[in-house]
Structures are given as C-alpha cells and as structure tokens.
C-alpha cells in the first residue's frame, strides 16, 4: 500500500496591515546600536502577483503570489554607507485584561475577558482572534519571558451575576452575546493536567497588560550593507579605461560608459637637501576635474 507524502509549509498571504517593520543602522560592525526605528509596512513592502493567465480559477482575479513580498529601500532612509538591520514581524496589540473568568453555560471553561473597544475593527467579530498569540507583561513593565498562550476561540460576551453552587454568594460569569462589549478568549493551555489536576496553568490576572500578535508568519531578519564600491566599480578601477594627465598629475578612472568614477592626484615627495625622490603618492581627489573627459581627450576637436 502506498503512503502519500504531504507538505506542511503554507506560504503566508498576510495583509501588509498585519506586519510591523523595524530597522537600525550602524556605520560599521564595531559600533553597537540596539535601538530599532519603526517603518510603515505599506511604504517598504508590496505584494506580488502571478500573471493573469497563470492561475485559471473561475472568479479569482487577484492572482496573489502567496509568501513573496517585494522589499523597497527608500533612498531618503537608506542613504548612508554602513549596515542596516531590517526586522519584519507580526504586528502586536497591547491591552489590559478585564477579567479572568468562566462561562455561565460551561463553568469549567476558563478564559480571559478583554474589552472589544481595545481591538481594531477587523478583530472585533467572533473568532477573529483565533490562533493569535498572547504574551504577558509583569508589574515592573517587563515582559514575562517564555510564557505564551494561544487563542482557541474568541466570542463576544456579556457579564451576568450567578449564585456560586448552593450558597448565597454570587459571582460574575459570562454568557455569549453578539451585542456584548466584552470578548471571552479561550486559551491553550488553560486546563490542568491529569498528573496535577488541581494545578491550573497561568493565563493572566485582572488588569494585567497582555500583548496580542498574529501567527501568520515567522519573524524575519534581513541585514543589508551599503558599500562604496561594488564588484562592477572595482572592475572599472582595475580593468577599466583610465587617463593620466601628465601635466596636472591627475589619474582618472572611467566606467564602461566612459563616465568619470574616481580621480587621484599623483606626485612625488623629494628630499629637501638632495632632491632625491623619496615617495610616490596617489591621493584621492574630492573635487572632480571635469576637463578630464575621456572622449574630449582621445578625440580633441
């Protein structure tokens, strides 16, 4: 009997509005800079599309190429020689826990309760947060590291007051209500294990700050180094055309289109007494002498 092999990687088709992009800059690898600067994902990323005829699906006109995005580097930002580190990650939402409670109809189901008005419009509907990751912030303002919970369901609820067991004490529980102003998040893990049935996993406490983020893709780090010379410019200097102005002592290098790329001053340093040459100097010029035009020199009028 044949056994099929199935792939497990799904290319992401995440919206640009669900992506955060950050970068930092250092002039060299000896300089430390751990402060990131935020960029608008819509300014530096764009979705890719297949040719119209390459995806013949009736009624599907978008032809989105999943998992591939173009990265643009605006010259207004990426304009210095050095190293840029770009970090692309899921967008986060920070909000506070309203309550840690249970459902009225299912009192064994624990979950977090958050305010629907703390969410973007597209995440306010039922189960819009399904699959989102939750991280926790301590009272000292630092993230509780390596503690992660995932949203199983998210539904609008309303609070109701009910008796606890056979006592006269009352407690707040929650019932599903599509017009409610709160959202009940069922998390995983949130139930006790068979080994320790009385030990419940931590899911947060009231008024604690949590960080919500989508799980549509894994964070990506890209390092880009802007340098003065490329392979092409080095090839032009080493093997390209050049002219040495003997009278002015100027050495000029040109690219393949005979455009001036670099100029150097050439001169000797001599002994003051004997007038014997001691050094031959090749000094980079900062001001380009435009009279050293290649075509004008080799084909004078």
For residue range 46-60, list pLDDT tens digits in order: 999 988 777 777 777
Tokens, residue 260: 């001036």
Q: Which of 211, 205, 189 is nearest to 100 (CA)?
A: 205
Q: pTM of the prediction?
A: 0.78
Q: What percent of the chain has pLDDT over 70?
A: 93
Strand partners, 37: 23
Give phi and psi for 222, each to the nearest 5. Answer: -125, 130
Least confidently predicted of 127-141, 163-177, 211-225: 163-177
Average pLDDT over residues 14-22: 95
Continuous segment of H or E residues that includes residue 293: none
pLDDT, position 191: 75
Residues in the chain: 301
Average pLDDT over residues 220-230: 92
pLDDT, position 120: 94
Please tell me the number of Cα atoms within 13 Å of 164 on its side-chain side: 5
Distance, CA of 167 to CA of 129 (rounded, Å): 36
Distance, CA of 67 to CA of 65 (rounded, Å): 7
Q: Which of 199, 205, 91, 186 is nearest to 144 (CA)?
A: 205
């Amino acid at each position: 009997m044949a056994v099929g092999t199935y792939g497990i990687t799904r290319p992401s088709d995440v919206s640009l509005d669900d992506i955060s992009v950050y970068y930092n800059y250092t002039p060299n690898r000896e300089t430390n800079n751990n402060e990131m600067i935020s960029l608008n994902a819509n300014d530096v990323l764009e979705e890719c599309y297949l040719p119209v005829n390459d995806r013949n699906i009736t009624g599907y006109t978008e032809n989105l190429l999943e998992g591939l995005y173009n990265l643009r580097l605006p010259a207004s930002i990426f304009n210095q020689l050095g190293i840029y580190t770009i970090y692309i990650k899921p967008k986060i939402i920070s909000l506070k826990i309203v309550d840690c409670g249970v459902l009225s109809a299912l009192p064994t189901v624990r979950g977090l309760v958050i305010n629907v008005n703390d969410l973007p419009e597209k995440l306010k509907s039922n189960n819009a947060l399904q699959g989102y990751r939750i991280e926790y912030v301590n009272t000292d303002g630092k993230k509780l590291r390596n503690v992660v919970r995932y949203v199983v369901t998210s539904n609008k609820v309303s609070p109701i007051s009910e008796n606890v067991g056979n006592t006269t004490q009352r407690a707040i529980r929650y019932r599903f209500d599509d017009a409610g102003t709160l959202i009940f998040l069922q998390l995983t893990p949130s139930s006790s294990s068979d080994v320790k049935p009385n030990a419940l996993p931590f899911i947060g406490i009231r008024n604690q700050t949590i960080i919500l983020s989508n799980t549509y893709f894994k964070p990506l780090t890209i390092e880009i180094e802007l340098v003065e010379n490329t392979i092409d410019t080095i090839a032009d200097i080493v093997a390209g055309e050049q002219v040495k102005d003997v009278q002015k002592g100027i050495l000029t290098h040109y690219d393949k289109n005979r455009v001036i790329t670099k100029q150097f001053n050439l001169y000797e340093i001599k002994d003051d007494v004997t007038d014997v040459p001691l050094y031959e100097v090749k000094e980079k010029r900062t001001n380009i002498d435009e009279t050293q035009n290649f075509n004008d020199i080799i084909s004078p009028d």
